[in-house]
């Protein structure tokens, strides 16, 4: 009889400890979740992409210089319908007036300045970001980047 009582008390003790540990870990998990969700400002949820205008130059055997302007990185990948921000810094070259094929988006990137392009493309596909000043090889291009929309 005494042994039985002792066993019951021990069992109750361990159940009590178990409930306490479960509550404490649940509290910590919920607290960690809260921190992850609520400490992030809303603007941080918009993915950001950073691009620059770059230039490659080389000298031919005959002494002639050739060059090309590029968007760098040359490809970004986004999800359809997702709002993202594309920041383009003008480094090499002067003015880079641009448009994004298949959209109404156009603008200009100037040396020493940053242009912010809010993007939201609903239809999946590959969209070309084209610099009108350097669109092809004849105009020191092709200065074309590819926006892959999944
Ligand atoms: Cu350009």
Predicted structure pTM score: 0.69
Give residue 135 CA to ligand 1 midpoint distance, Å.
7
- Condensed to tens digits (0 to 9), the pLDDT of residues 125-148 reads 999 999 999 999 999 999 999 999
Please report where in the chains the tokens 């159940």 appear, as a residue: 15
Within a domain: 36: no
Give residue 2 CA to ligand 1 midpoint distance, Å.
90
Within a domain: 23: no
Give residue 44 CA to ligand 1 midpoint distance, Å.
29
For 10, 21, 24, 29, the CA distances from 89, given in Å and listed in that order, are 69, 53, 49, 41
Within a domain: 27: no
Q: Which range marks the domain in which residue 61 is found?
A: 48-149
Give residue 146 CA to ligand 1 midpoint distance, Å.
15
Give residue 53 CA to ligand 1 midpoint distance, Å.
7
Within a domain: 9: no
- What whole-number distance in Å separates Cα of residue 80 and Cα of residue 85? 14
- Condensed to tens digits (0 to 9), the pLDDT of residues 35-77 reads 444 444 555 689 999 999 999 999 999 999 999 999 999 999 9
Give residue 143 CA to ligand 1 midpoint distance, Å.
6
Contacts of 91 (CB under 8 A, 6+ apart): 52, 53, 54, 111
Half-sphere exposure of 57 (CA within 13 A, CB side): 7
CATH of the domain at 69: 2.60.40.420
Number of domains forming the structure of the chain: 1
Give residue 136 CA to ligand 1 midpoint distance, Å.
10
């Amino acid at each position: 009889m005494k042994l039985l009582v002792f066993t019951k008390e021990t069992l109750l003790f361990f159940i009590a400890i178990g409930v306490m540990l479960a509550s404490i870990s649940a509290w910590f998990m919920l607290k960690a979740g809260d921190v992850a969700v609520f400490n992030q400002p809303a603007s941080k949820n918009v993915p950001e992409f950073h691009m620059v205008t770059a230039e490659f130059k080389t000298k031919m055997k005959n002494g002639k210089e050739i060059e090309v302007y590029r968007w760098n990185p040359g490809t970004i990948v986004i999800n359809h319908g997702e709002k993202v921000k594309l920041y383009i810094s003008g480094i090499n070259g002067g003015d880079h007036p641009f448009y994004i094929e298949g959209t109404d988006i156009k603008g200009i990137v100037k040396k020493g300045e940053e242009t912010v392009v809010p993007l939201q493309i609903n239809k999946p596909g590959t969209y070309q970001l084209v610099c009108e000043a350097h669109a092809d090889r004849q105009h020191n291009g092709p200065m074309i980047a590819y926006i892959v929309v999944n």
